[in-house]
Amino acid sequence: MIQGDNTLVLLLAGGVGSRLNVLVQTRAKPAVPFAGFYRIIDFSLSNVMNSGLTQVGVLTQYKPLSLMRHLGTGEAWDFTGRSRGVKILPPHTGFQDSDWYKGTADAVRQNIDFIRAHPARETIILSGDHIYRMDLDDMLRFHRRKNAQVTIGMMVVPLSEIHQFGAGITNSEGRIVEWEEKPKVPRTDLASMGIYVFDTEYLLRLLEEDREEVDFGMHLIPKAIERDNVFAYPFHGYWRDVGTVQAYWEANMDLLKSDSEISPQAWGIRPNPYADRQPEDRCPVRFAAGCVVEGSMISAGCVIEGEVINSVLSPGVRVGKNVRIRDSIILHDCVLEEGAVVDLAILDKRVRVGKGAVVGRGEDKGTPNTAYPKHLYTGITMIGKEAEVPPRAVIGRNCVVTPYRKAEDFLSLAIATGETI
């Protein structure tokens, strides 16, 4: 580990993340549960912890309460003590929406006082909504070895996906010589991961030059590349931005593969088990006689009487008799009553599916949701937090039931593919 100074980490966790639909209608994107009993932000926090870094500022904004409750004192990630800590940094809001963070660079700019109050040679800027394992200490060594003012974590992605990212063209030494933000016609397959190391004084100067420049990828990084030493730190391994329903579902399904590249336990990823319920409140999983479980992740406190195939169940899920679950993500304390079917669906916390109800029926997986065609278009149906699906209801593909809907909100027991309640 690099000794002699305490590198500052700023973790950006304020984005709306609207493409996750019902999962972010009640919480910030980094606080969305993942892989049973983790939250998305646990991966970034654990990478910081495992890299020996101890000073963290978490920049929050949108629906921050569950995220703040999850972070607590930072004890779960060993961020408590005289020389270590995690600080929640909300926007300095006034009476106008314009006071909120306008972009990634603006978010950091609004917290310049925090940066100055924690003197550090370098400042690392991370996103709180990625699933990955990374040695940030190695990235710091690379940054110093290259005498860089800025180092950007980058990885090779398929050319068909490069339009989603900032893209860098490098020379033989790894220095970035050209930059394109979300290029429509790509000239490189090297994509930014949204992970930056800045020399702190350089970052402060860059932020103070032009207050109208609000985004790193769009504004500050291209300017730095034109004038100074900006290097690409090559990353090889599993990394996924789970900012869409499809990406979130795929990352959870990746956990279940026999040759899975993602292993939170082996990676040393820590959850905060005390944020929701005390772990001792959860009994071990109970598998009833005659149940079937194949290729699935089942968390503590679940009771399985039916069939669970290729699915991820968070703590406390109750699967009744003759229930069939397939290719689905079921979050904490959901109840699936006798004879229910859940196929290719995501159920938020404390959803109740009534007797004989079906969530996800039909061969037509390609007709998108009419209200959210860019969110749901591959057949996944989503049920919001604490919603109730009435007995014998049949819900098609690419459907949305918004949070807290009750049985009486269903005007019909047949919800066609693509509909929203």
Non-local (6+) Cβ contacts of 80 within 8 A are: 73, 74
Q: Is residue 358 part of a domain?
A: yes
User: Could you tell me the pTM of the whole model?
Assistant: 0.93
Other Cβ atoms closer than 10 A to 285:
16
Other Cβ atoms closer than 10 A to 93:
13
- For residue 49, the SS3 value is helix
Which of 254, 273, 295 terminates a domain? The answer is 254
Query: Is residue 230 located within the same domain as residue 304?
Result: no
Q: 260 is written with which tokens?
A: 């899975």
The CA distance from 232 to 175, in Å, is 6
The CA distance from 159 to 334, in Å, is 39
With cut-offs at 50, 70 and 90, classify the pLDDT of residue 2.
low
Non-local (6+) Cβ contacts of 226 within 8 A are: none
Over residues 146-179, the pLDDT tens digits come to 999 999 999 999 988 888 889 999 999 999 999 9
- Provide DSSP, 151-188: EEEEEE--GGGGGGSEEEEE-TTSBEEEEEES-SS-S-
Structure-derived torsion over alpha carbons of residues 92, 95, 101, 107, reported in degrees to the nearest 10:
-10
Give the domain range for residue 72: 8-254
With DSSP H G I counted as helix, E B as strand and the rest as coil, what are the percentages for the chain, rounded to 5?
25, 25, 50
Query: Is residue 216 located within the same domain as residue 286?
Result: no
Query: Is residue 131 located within the same domain as residue 197?
Result: yes
Over residues 181-196, the pLDDT tens digits come to 888 888 899 999 999 9
Query: Which CATH number do you get for residue 300?
Result: 2.160.10.10
Q: Is residue 260 part of a domain?
A: no
Query: Is residue 381 located within the same domain as residue 320?
Result: yes
The CA distance from 220 to 50, in Å, is 29
| Residue 3 clears pLDDT 60, i.e. is over it | no
What percent of the chain is predicted at pLDDT more than 70? Answer: 95
Query: Is residue 206 located within the same domain as residue 294?
Result: no
Question: What is the DSSP code (8-state) at residue 218?
Answer: I
Domain count of the fold of the chain:
2
Q: Is residue 32 part of a domain?
A: yes
| Residue 98 clears pLDDT 60, i.e. is over it | no
Q: Determine the pLDDT at residue 97.
A: 47
Q: Is residue 267 part of a domain?
A: no
Pairing of strands 55-59, 8-12: parallel
Which of 254, 272, 298 terminates a domain? The answer is 254
Mean pLDDT of 82-98: 71
Q: Is residue 420 part of a domain?
A: no
Which of 254, 271, 292 terminates a domain? The answer is 254
Structure-derived torsion over alpha carbons of residues 133, 137, 140, 141, reported in degrees to the nearest 10:
-120
Query: Is residue 309 located within the same domain as residue 181?
Result: no
Query: Is residue 223 located within the same domain as residue 324?
Result: no
Query: Is residue 249 located within the same domain as residue 286?
Result: no
Q: Is residue 335 part of a domain?
A: yes
- Provide DSSP, 87-105: EEE-----SSGGGS--SHH
Query: Is residue 80 located within the same domain as residue 217?
Result: yes
Q: Is residue 175 part of a domain?
A: yes
Query: Is residue 233 located within the same domain as residue 314?
Result: no
Query: Is residue 289 located within the same domain as residue 407?
Result: yes
Query: Is residue 240 located within the same domain as residue 300?
Result: no
Q: Is residue 266 part of a domain?
A: no
Q: List the 329-330 sheet strands across, edge first.
A: 297-298, 312-313, 329-330, 345-347, 381-383, 400-401
| Residue 216 clears pLDDT 70, i.e. is over it | yes
Q: Which amino acid appears at position 55 of this protein?
A: Q
The CA distance from 143 to 330, in Å, is 41
Structure-derived torsion over alpha carbons of residues 348, 351, 355, 357, reported in degrees to the nearest 10:
-40
The CA distance from 347 to 384, in Å, is 6
Query: Which CATH number do you get for residue 183?
Result: 3.90.550.10
